[in-house]
């Protein structure tokens, strides 16, 4: 188990760009995420494990110190350039008319609840920005009478909310800020409903 203040040995890529004093985010990629219904590829999760700073360059490898550990760092984890994120998020106006769904949680739990980091299927291209809040809801359908052929969607029931922490072009990382019931992957989200 590799954690904070541990010394690690890193095998650089061919370009040898790892320079002493430079910070990197440590991550691993998880199996591709597919839509539950369509089986269409949504993307590949970058599971962040920590931050290292390069301390010494040797022939064929570099030494680094783990300065922050989010979870256990493993052999063969990868590096990406470190990007400082602000510790405070400014709340911003949410996009009107947005509808989407929760893809899943960072830790891949089946039941998602309060204070869980999760992912949604909307991002920059959809007008989603850091600091926006969205409602989590479910909507049942019922036949209005025995004679009707189809079901009619009933009024949406809001049972939670989320805050956008980070955006990518087609997905976003969110924090579930409140939930009145368990949330599953595929649960609907929308612009805030009062």
Write out pLDDT tens, residues 144-180. 777 777 888 888 999 999 999 999 999 999 999 999 9
C-alpha distance from residue 17 to each of 75, 83, 94, 177 (Å): 20, 17, 40, 40
Residue 126, φ and ψ in degrees, nearest 5: -100, 0
For residue 24, count other CB atoms closer than 10 A to its CB.
18
Q: What is the pLDDT of residues 40-98, one digit of tens each?
A: 888 889 999 999 999 999 888 999 999 999 998 999 999 999 998 888 899 999 999 99
Instruction: Name the H helices within 63-182.
Output: none
Runs of H (alpha helix) within 71-181: none
Task: State pTM to two decimals.
Answer: 0.85
d(CA 15, CA 176): 40
**Ranges 3-7, 99-103, 114-118, 171-175: which has the least confidence:** 3-7
Beta bridge partners of 48: 27
Give which of 61, 63, 41 is closest to 52, Cα–Cα: 63
pLDDT at 15: 66
């Amino acid at each position: 188990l590799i954690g904070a203040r541990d010394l690690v040995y890193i095998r650089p890529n061919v370009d040898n760009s790892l320079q002493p004093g430079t910070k990197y985010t440590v991550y691993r990629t998880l199996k591709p995420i597919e839509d539950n219904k369509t089986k269409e590829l949504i993307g590949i999760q970058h599971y962040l494990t920590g931050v290292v700073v390069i301390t010494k360059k040797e022939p064929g490898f570099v030494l680094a110190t783990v300065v922050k550990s989010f979870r256990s760092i493993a052999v063969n984890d990868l590096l990406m350039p470190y990007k400082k994120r602000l510790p405070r998020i400014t709340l911003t106006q949410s996009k009107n008319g947005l509808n989407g769904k929760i893809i899943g949680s960072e830790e891949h739990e089946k039941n998602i609840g309060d204070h869980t980091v999760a992912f949604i299927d909307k991002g920059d291209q959809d007008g989603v920005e850091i600091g926006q809040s969205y409602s989590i809801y479910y909507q049942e359908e019922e036949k209005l009478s025995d004679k009707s052929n189809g079901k009619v969607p009933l009024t949406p029931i809001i049972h939670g909310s989320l805050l956008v922490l980070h955006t990518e072009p087609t997905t976003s990382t969110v924090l579930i800020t409140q939930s009145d019931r368990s949330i599953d992957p595929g649960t609907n989200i929308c612009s805030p409903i009062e």
